[in-house]
């Protein structure tokens, strides 16, 4: 698949996708596995390949899975949180195409205790939970990394900033720290390790609405205990799908190694 074929018809969304993959590439080593929600385009396989990363797509829609596979990618038809737990990728890109919901929030938190990097994208304005979080945090100031420098920024109902600020403060509170200077010390350590970055762009299909994103290095993000598996039959099915995807990924990596194996003089 060439560059022209991989570019999404929405140029604004294509620019966001480049930002998301650049964030991942700056936070994980080359050769890492990145899991994405397939959505309605197969562009992620191209974006991963040109950065020296490996991509696994996950979706519940068969047409999305088929399009991703046709692009040369590995795809699994399943719920993404199940495959995060089974495959344990180094990073995830979660383009939810909707607002913050209990499921999307829980998926992000589960990824936070599994992956080294999270990029998540939410639609602002039609999500009750997202609005509740924004109401709770108000118009506070938060921080972001811009070209490796700390910048203070207002949340202003940005879903990515609100999510980050909510979990950042939850993490600090979970330490049971009372003294202000100790809270600040913990928060500064988290900030240096997580390096939060944010992005926003207008929706093509819903004029007047925006998509909001955050990217973080996630080792210290989660205060969650993860998602409990309710149906053992689904767990077994997810394990089989994950095993097949891992086998295909191993074969794909071996082909790359064989292709670039150094020539040895006898």
Span 178-230, pLDDT tens digits: 555 665 666 677 777 888 899 999 988 778 889 999 999 976 544 444 344 34
Per-residue model confidence as pLDDT tens digits over 85-116? 889 999 999 999 888 888 888 898 888 888 99
Structure tokens at 21: 């993959």
Domains of the chain in start order, with CATH, are: 3-123+196-251 (3.40.50.150)
Q: Rg of the chain's alpha carbons, rounded to an integer?
A: 19
Pinpoint the alpha helices (H) of 113-154: 128-137
What's the pTM? Answer: 0.81
Separation between Cα atoms, residue 36 and residue 102, nearest integer Å: 19
> What mean pLDDT is reported for the chain?
79
Separation between Cα atoms, residue 216 and residue 109, nearest integer Å: 12
Has residue 165 got a pLDDT over 90?
no
Q: pLDDT value at position 144? A: 81
Has residue 49 got a pLDDT over 80?
yes
Per-residue model confidence as pLDDT tens digits over 190-202? 777 888 899 999 9
Has residue 140 got a pLDDT over 70?
yes
Separation between Cα atoms, residue 75 and residue 36, nearest integer Å: 9
Count how many residues are written for the chain: 266
Please answer whether residues 50 and 18 qualify as being in contact, where contact means their C-beta atoms are separated by less than 8 angstroms. no
Q: How far apart are the first and last CA of the chain?
A: 37
Kindly report which listed range (15-24, 156-165, 166-175) carries the lowest average pLDDT score: 166-175
Please answer whether residues 1 and 45 qualify as being in contact, where contact means their C-beta atoms are separated by less than 8 angstroms. yes
Q: pLDDT value at position 163? A: 85
């Amino acid at each position: 698949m060439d560059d022209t074929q991989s570019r999404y018809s929405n140029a604004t969304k294509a620019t966001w996708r480049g930002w998301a993959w650049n964030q991942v590439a700056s936070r994980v080593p080359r050769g890492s596995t990145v899991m994405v929600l397939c959505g309605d385009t197969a562009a992620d396989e191209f974006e991963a390949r040109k950065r020296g990363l490996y991509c696994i797509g996950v979706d519940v829609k068969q047409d999305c899975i088929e399009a991703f596979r046709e692009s040369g990618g590995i795809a699994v038809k399943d719920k993404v949180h199940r495959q995060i737990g089974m495959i344990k990728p180094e990073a995830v890109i979660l383009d939810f195409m909707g607002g913050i919901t209990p499921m999307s929030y829980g998926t992000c938190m589960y990824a936070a205790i599994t992956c080294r990097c999270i990029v998540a994208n939410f639609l602002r304005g039609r999500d009750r939970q997202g609005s509740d979080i924004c109401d709770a945090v108000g118009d506070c100031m938060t921080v972001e990394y811009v070209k490796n420098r700390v910048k203070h920024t207002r949340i202003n109902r940005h879903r990515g900033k609100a999510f980050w600020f909510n979990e950042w403060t939850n993490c600090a509170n979970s330490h049971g720290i009372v003294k202000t200077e100790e809270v600040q010390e913990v928060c500064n350590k988290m900030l240096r390790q997580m390096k939060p970055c944010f992005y926003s762009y207008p929706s093509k299909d819903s004029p007047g609405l925006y998509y909001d994103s955050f990217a973080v290095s996630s080792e210290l993000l989660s205060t969650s205990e993860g998602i409990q598996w309710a149906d053992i039959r689904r767990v077994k099915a997810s394990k089989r799908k994950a095993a097949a995807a891992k086998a295909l990924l191993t074969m794909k990596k071996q082909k790359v190694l064989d292709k670039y194996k150094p020539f040895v003089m006898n």
